[in-house]
Amino acid sequence: MSTAELLVRARGMTRILPGPVPVTLVHDIDLDVARGELISIIGPSGSGKSSLLYLLGLLDQPTSGEISLDGQPTTGLGSHALARLRLEKIGFVFQFHFLLQEFTALENVTLPMRKLGRLSPSAQEARAMDILDELGMANHAHRRPDQLSGGERQRVAIARSLANDPPMILADEPTGNLDSKNAANVFAIFSKLTEIHGKSVVVITHDQDLAALTERQIQTLDGRIVQDGAVSRLDKAPAG
């Protein structure tokens, strides 16, 4: 994989939670994420999927090892620089949609743009409407999260993750609370984002069928990557 294609490069990434009994969340992981790649991470609960995602998303810092994002090493960066990288280069989608309840769908989507401050307020609103429209949510732009269904909320959360046009979307079990139809829709959106918009999408899921829709599957166990490849080649060992 050429450097130009590489978006994330992690080497020897270990995360240990300090305490009376230190807990190793992620152990010595090497991982590359290419631009436009759709990756699913699967594995049993406690296998380190979310910890790996938070490290890739710069929400957490590895105890040892290093991560480069878009060619920029992140080891030793201060909180200001890390926050800036999250704002510009990473979009998050969580299981429980995590929208601000008092803001409308449109306001939630403009939030990252307002923080970045590159566009005028009218341009921010226009872009947010475009994204919502592309995700079939334009008619719900002025509704608050409590006026939307679970699938609709998740689509708004995806729209928000795209607000600043980041090269990478990280999704932590985005379909965990959705029915199969809505879950398939979300994965269809992720596919479209990688194929048409060239985004890299890393998504955690427990659903093997949904994982099979991705071109690359990573399986974790006890904080390590035990499989990295196509779903058909994955070890179907039971979780736990």
Binding residues vs other proteins (CB under 8 A): 50, 54, 57, 59-60, 79-80, 83-88, 92, 94-96, 98-103, 111-112, 114-116, 160, 172-173
Spatial strand order in the sheet of 38-42: 90-93, 168-172, 200-204, 38-42, 216-221, 224-229
Identify which of residues 111 and 226 has a Cβ nearer to other proteins in the complex: 111
Identify which of residues 114 and 230 has a Cβ nearer to other proteins in the complex: 114
CA distance 162 to 146: 21
Give the shortest CB-211-to-other proteins separation in angstroms: 19
Give the shortest CB-29-to-other proteins separation in angstroms: 17
| Both tokens assigned to 149 | 């269904």
Give the shortest CB-152-to-other proteins separation in angstroms: 17
Give the shortest CB-195-to-other proteins separation in angstroms: 25
Identify which of residues 100 and 230 has a Cβ nearer to other proteins in the complex: 100
Identify which of residues 17 and 237 has a Cβ nearer to other proteins in the complex: 17
Give the shortest CB-8-to-other proteins separation in angstroms: 17
Identify which of residues 55 and 234 has a Cβ nearer to other proteins in the complex: 55
Spatial strand order in the sheet of 64-69: 23-34, 6-17, 64-69, 72-73
